[in-house]
Amino acid sequence: MSAPAPEQLALHAAQLRARIAMLDHAYYVLDAPEATDAEYDQLMRALLALEDQHPQLRTADSPTQRVGGAPRADLAPAPHAVAMLSLSNALTDDEAQAFDMRVQAGLGLADPVYCCELKFDGLAISLRYRDGVLERAATRGDGSVGEDVTANVRTIRSLPLRLPGPVPPLLEVRGEVLMFRRDFERLNAHQRAHEAREFANPRNAAAGSLRQLDAAITAQRRLHFFAYSMVQGDGEEDTTTAPDSPTGDPNPNPNMPAVTRAGSQWALLDALQELGLPVCEHRARVQGIAGLRDFYETIAQRRDSLPYEIDGVVFKVDDFQQQRRLGSVARAPRWAVARKFPPSEARTQVLGIDVQVGRTGAITPVARLAPVEVGGVVVSNATLHNEDEVRRKDIRIGDTVIVRRAGDVIPEVLASVPELRPADARAFVMPASCPVCGSAIERGEGEVIARCSGGLICPAQRKQALLHFAGRRALDIDGLGEKLVDQLVDAGLVSHPAGIFALDLPTLQKLDRMGEKSAANLLAAISVARTTTLDRFLYSLGIRHVGETTARDLARHFGSYAALAAATEAELLQVPDVGPVVAQAIRQFLDDARNRAEVEALLGTLQVAAPPPAARSQALGGVSFVLTGTLPTLSRDEAAARIEAAGGKVSSAVSRKTRYVVAGAEAGGKLAKAQELGIAVLDEAGLLALLEQTGGN
């Protein structure tokens, strides 16, 4: 195959430059991104590769020669005394290793020390403090000239307007402005309520909020800031971070401000924090490629539990003298790289929209997609949540859509791309009957979710109902998992929960991968499950809106299933935390003849013990707790039992009513939410001390 002609290469380079420039304008100037990060990165990498191979194609106006977009004309320009550089990207482990090898070669030493930080998905900003007072805030812009957003930045409440203690006469702090996930959701809810355009993601929302002409609007958006570097004086000292001293002396005057004395990125972050500037706690000082890999993997696992979005981590040579030895190229420093995560968003086409039937009969529209890789996983289906969401987002069959996946969360369709809509795109129509059992699909007045009316006669609900019934917090039948339930239902051996207790050894041994020992173990677990408590039994029935806590409250209030079955809605409303919606759902379940028959069959098989005793103490009466993570010695059930024995309540979700969050190892989003809401956080020792003070044990 012959090499492309010079004019073809020049045309290709011009096309890439034009496309990138258009995307830059849409993102930086219009605050309306038209491509995902992955698509943009792919274009930029293609242009870089082309210009590296053919330097004569590199032009002064090429986007590879700058680090951002042009500033908006309606915001005052803000020149940077020292250019705000971007970072080179490492998209794979091999590229991260290549970065480490270049650093080793440049410094002439093995296993350099790095400072590892998060790569925030926000907007780079520069803050100039004169004599410790915030004088100017500017966006990065094109790296040389940004936009003056001082009035807007002053509304960020976590940002000090005056720095305490000794500081240099002129100090420029650089960092990231971002919007937390919860504030982003609140903002988009407000946009929907006012029929305004929603933001595509928190980064886009932060950029749009910071560049408002009316600072009062910015103040309502709840932005946050994290500092990560500084420039001292007029920029004559260093290009991106603090020098180890103004003169490069490794033994600086101890009377100088801490930010000036800092000889490393790690020390600088500590010094910035001492000045009252927000600095992210998720950072590490590591050695060599092994340390870089460990930090990347650790943060990748925690990524979805963070209260804000990140799209990777940043590796920086820690020592400032070593940074200066390595230097920078036109666009980026040689001593730092951004190790990016696989993109969590991608574009693809909707091939069709089907519906899934959940355990409670909930009908969920699901988009069938042209397979696309998102977050390192090939995605071919994504949830559309409900009929109203399909209408609101205007998702049609044939549309090009943006799909998002975060961790193990089911992928979802964020939005359509209307300008790419084909002429034959079709709107989604909710089916009138269940695709599994043929029963009518109904949607109650005022409800968002449509449901199959088939109940336990619907195989889709039947399987999920059986799994719920056998779950750990219900009847806890060890070994009765999804694959086995599929076999039992598909073979017609079990069609309702009571049928589980009619299984025998010969029947089970006929199933795939079910030997005599496995069958015997399952039958032993079923035998143990014949004896249970009323609260577990009520929870196992899968009554809508009745979770573990409500089941426990019902068991304690009524004492027996017979008393509960005879209760009116008015009597149900006397149970703590049971409102009209829950009371109606309970009554509807109890009034259904098929449900009554199933419960009677179960009660003829099971031994349902009296409800757990009421709290021995009321010292914590009405106090709400949430448990998260793994405690050192107590299981969650044990911790919950001790809290309830002291009169407290254990909830599954953090809200403003929560008094304490008890956090153990690997605590996730619940801990982050508690910190955001200012809720007291206890470890196991703190919980035990509280229980001891209140008479619990």
DSSP code at position 412: E
Owner of token pair 């529209």: 365
Distance (Å, whole) CA 295 – CA 271? 22
Please give the C-alpha separations between residue 338 and each of 126, 218, 393, 480, 591, in angstroms, as whole numbers.
19, 29, 33, 45, 60
Helical segments of 478-610, H only: 482-490, 505-509, 516-529, 534-540, 548-558, 561-565, 569-572, 580-591, 593-603
Secondary structure of residue 628 in the 3-state scheme: strand
The alpha carbon dihedral of 505, 508, 511, 515 has a sign of negative
User: By CB neighbour count within 10 A (0-12 exposed, 13-18 middle, 19+ buried), where does 391 fall?
Assistant: exposed
User: By CB neighbour count within 10 A (0-12 exposed, 13-18 middle, 19+ buried), where does 584 fall?
Assistant: middle
Half-sphere exposure in the Cβ direction for 19 (13 Å, CA): 16
The H or E element containing residue 53 is: helix 37-53
Of 315, 351, 355, 353, residue with least CA distance to 335: 315
Active-site position among 119, 340, 463, 649 = 119
Please give the C-alpha separations between residue 379 and each of 106, 383, 411, in angstroms, as whole numbers.
41, 11, 7
Q: What are phi and psi of 310, to 5 degrees?
A: -130, 155
Half-sphere exposure in the Cβ direction for 87 (13 Å, CA): 22
119 assigned to active site: yes
Distance (Å, whole) CA 516 – CA 354? 40
Distance (Å, whole) CA 580 – CA 569? 8
> What is the crossing angle of helices 580-591 and 593-603, to 10°?
80
Structure tokens at 456: 């336990």
Distance (Å, whole) CA 614 – CA 304? 38
> What is the crossing angle of helices 288-302 and 93-107, to 10°?
140
Start-to-end CA distance of the chain, whole Å, equals: 79
Distance (Å, whole) CA 404 – CA 414? 7
The H or E element containing residue 261 is: helix 258-261
- For the chain, the maximum distance between any two Cα atoms, rounded to a whole number of angstroms, is 87
Secondary structure of 176-233 in the HEC alphabet?
EEEECHHHHHHHHHHHHHCCCCCCCCHHHHHHHHHCCCCHHHHHCCCEEEEEEEEEEC
Contact partners, residue 356, CB within 8 Å, separation at least 6: 363, 364, 366, 460
Q: How many CB atoms lie within 10 A of CB 295?
A: 24
Of 125, 167, 131, 134, residue with least CA distance to 259: 167
CA dihedral 490, 493, 495, 497 (to 10 degrees): -130
Half-sphere exposure in the Cβ direction for 13 (13 Å, CA): 23
Structural contact between residues 323 and 374, judged by C-beta atoms closer than 8 angstroms: no
Catalytic residues: 119
